[in-house]
Amino acid sequence: MSNQSSDPLAAVEALLAAVDGGLVLPPPAERVRLREAAGLTQAAVAQALGVRLPSIQAWEDGRAEPKPERLQAYWHLLKGLAQRYPAPPASPVAPPVSACAQPPAAAPTVRPERFADTHSTPRRVSASRRPGAPKAAAAGTAAKAAVDPRFVNGPLLVVDVEDDGQVVAYGVGGLVLDVPAKSIPALVDWTLKEAKLGQSKLSGSGKDADPLLVLTEAALERYGLPVTLTQQERVAGRLPEGHQVIKQLGRANWLLTKRGFGPWARIYRPAQGSQRACVQLCIPSWRALDSRHWGDAAQLPPAELAQLLGTYASRVMTPRGSTAVTGLELMTALHPPTRASEPDADGKRTSEHNPGSLGKDPVDCAPCEAPDGHPLLADLPRFHVRGPGEKLFEEAYDWARPMTDAECTLRHLVGIDVNMAFAAGANGLVVGLGAPTHVKAPVFDAKLPGSWLVDLSHVDLSRVKVAKDTWAELDASLLPSPFTPKGERPEGPAWYATPTVAYAVELGYEVRPIEGWVRNESGRYLDGWYNRLRDAYLATMADLGVDADLSPADFLAAMDGYQERDPQLAIVVSAIKATVKGGLGKLRERPRGEGWRPGERWRALARPTWRPDIRAAVISRTRINLHRKIVKHAAFTGQYPIAILSDCVVYAATGTSPLDFLPYRDGKPLPGGFKLGINPGLVKHEGTQSVLWGEEVRDRFNAPELNLARYIKDGTVTDIDNGE
């Protein structure tokens, strides 16, 4: 939209002066062509001219023209580009024209010494795609053959305010929409009626994703919301109930969920049949985008933020909150609790349980699976500390040991990290779908998910089975126990998840459970979740130049500095990883204030997805998968890990690369051992430090078992805990 002057005569004189001075700009399409021919981004041009990115977008869309102080510089840039990249000659043969399409206009010829054609700025059309702006598309993926007409503008918009005061919304694929709404209730109404936002359901019996609006600081000010929350509001996680915007929503009959108007607010009206009326808001300046997972996404220009979130939405799902919340919601979106039944005699369908899902009603966990403070433990004495025989404690590794004399003669410590380790642990895992059943003296069944009280202290790692009828002699003092997170050998009966007990059988030892809590209804509930996140991760890494079929050496080279190739895609990778870990963590969400006291129920317990047993099974399997590789590696090479932290393992080596200690032969890895690659479950190079660095750090802090895996990436030691 052109800026209208209060003095039309002066505006006309300025236009004539521009013509006389040779400063008439080429048409918008030619401006775009010249910039793209030179390989320049809109952000680069904006930075050079000292303007905001939306200004460049407006100039290229024909919605506005540069002000006098920027006109000459912009004209000079385009003139220089036209000299370097002249327009191609128009084809003398007109292409065939279909009955429903207009013939394309020929690109104007650009004269090096002066731009010729003038351009009339089109009028702004509310709630429609701006002229020249592309339609929204799934970021980073091939366009689908058919786009749901309800969601032609994509899953989300970033709402901002331009220099001229116009509220605009940026979508994926360069989409820009005008926003006529003057208040938050009007914005919600416009979104549902005109914006054509959303995302198709991920499962046949699921629900379409609600539209997401991301509000910039300028948009917050425009709609009467604070740019930042006060300390009290941050602690509460929401605006106070008496805020004027919340009152506006109430008067318009809009409701808020129990979490109120916070960084991830959900505004809705009760569903009418299958028709939902719900819009989600994301407010980055209220810390909606955690920098630990989203990097500096909150500081990106609106158009770039829309593209980044759009990429995540197209590959994972439209964000529903933090990455943890989204990870949990993805499980439900892929396995909805109910489905429509077959039609009855009258042709009517009803809602019924969806096989393979967790159902719509929550189930209580077993007492051994309950975290401290759970209502099931209300009868325990105050300050009672449960031991291994009372509590299931399946957690990731945090183990380290002193280096041997032989290892100290080597020069380097090399860390390797398992890609998407917890996602790989979920792949193909059979988990319980219903409530647990208590059994006494059961016969262990590796196919039956549950928790088992069993004594595994007799498992001796000095002699273990590494293949069928093949046993290996190992130095057990250099290995962590696979049964405890700290790597200590168990001293008696303890509670374990099924994968842990099954591994003891795999190592060649007999197990006799004392009792168990088992789940007879089971399934591979997390398979679809794993596949979705795996595909998102691999596609994004491929965009960053790291493919799944690279040779070990090429893979290491491709991983070197991959984050700098496209920082925004690197943020998407980080968010995908956080979605995995956070989603699994939400399966055992603890109380979050709200006046909770031990022994009382908390809000998360009302969810069917509050399943600490599933979380424990995934972590158990992830830890066992890692230990299995460590044992195979030790049996074949005689090399033992020095430190393990979650999915990172540190070895002493003669060189700085994982290839200096991983036993590759003719490009093939050790079967069942560590393999370099980008797929989940394979490993990458985490970091390399010197053996002298490791010994010096441990000596300096008098911590001979300091976990060096925590610091191997860059060598910076920040939180010494003396190995405890």
**pLDDT at residue number 325:** 97
Q: What is the pLDDT of residues 215-251, one digit of tens each?
A: 999 999 999 999 999 999 999 999 999 999 999 999 9
- Amino acid identity of 278? C
**pLDDT at residue number 723:** 40
Q: Of the given ranges (39-48, 273-282, 401-410), which has the lowest mean pLDDT?
A: 39-48
**pLDDT at residue number 98:** 35
**pLDDT at residue number 194:** 95
Average the pLDDT over 295-307 and give the result. Answer: 96
Q: What is the pLDDT of residues 651-704, one digit of tens each?
A: 999 999 999 999 998 889 999 999 999 999 999 999 999 999 999 999 998 998
d(CA 135, CA 147): 11
**pLDDT at residue number 673:** 95
pLDDT at 104 over 60: no
**pLDDT at residue number 116:** 33
d(CA 309, CA 292): 16
pLDDT at 124 over 70: no
Phi, psi of 276 (to 5 degrees): -95, 150
- The answer to whether 67 and 13 have CB atoms below 8 angstroms apart is no
Q: What is the pLDDT of residues 333-349, one digit of tens each?
A: 999 999 988 888 888 88
pLDDT at 118 over 80: no
Q: What is the pLDDT of residues 441-455, one digit of tens each?
A: 999 999 999 999 999
Residue 101: pLDDT band by 50, 70, 90 thresholds? very low
Strand positions, DSSP E, 216-313: 255-256, 264-272, 275-282
**pLDDT at residue number 2:** 41
pLDDT at 594 over 70: yes
Other CB atoms within 10 A of residue 541 CB: 23
> What's the chain's average pLDDT?
88
State the number of CA atoms in the 13 A half-sphere of 498 facing the CB. 23
Residue 585: pLDDT band by 50, 70, 90 thresholds? very high
The residues near 308 (Cβ < 8 Å, ≥ 6 apart) are 297, 300, 568, 571, 572
**Three-state DSSP class for 171?**
coil
pLDDT at 571 over 80: yes
Q: Of the given ranges (146-155, 386-395, 633-642), which has the lowest mean pLDDT?
A: 146-155
**pLDDT at residue number 662:** 96
d(CA 541, CA 679): 10
Between 456 and 97, name the one with better pLDDT. Answer: 456
Average the pLDDT over 185-190 and give the result. Answer: 97
**pLDDT at residue number 8:** 58
Instruction: Indicate the domain borders of the chain.
Output: 1-90+106-123, 124-318
Between 95 and 9, name the one with better pLDDT. Answer: 9
**pLDDT at residue number 100:** 36
**pLDDT at residue number 14:** 60
Q: Of the given ranges (34-48, 87-101, 215-229, 588-602), which has the lowest mean pLDDT?
A: 87-101
pTM across the whole model: 0.81
Closest CA to 644 of 404, 413, 409: 413
- Amino acid identity of 452? W
Average the pLDDT over 493-509 and give the result. Answer: 97
Phi, psi of 645 (to 5 degrees): -135, 105
Q: What is the pLDDT of residues 523-534, one digit of tens each?
A: 999 999 999 999
Q: What is the pLDDT of residues 10-61, one digit of tens each?
A: 555 665 666 666 678 889 988 989 988 888 888 778 878 877 777 888 888 8
| The two three-digit tokens of residue 538, written as one number | 């691999």
Average the pLDDT over 617-626 and give the result. Answer: 98
Residue 383: pLDDT band by 50, 70, 90 thresholds? confident
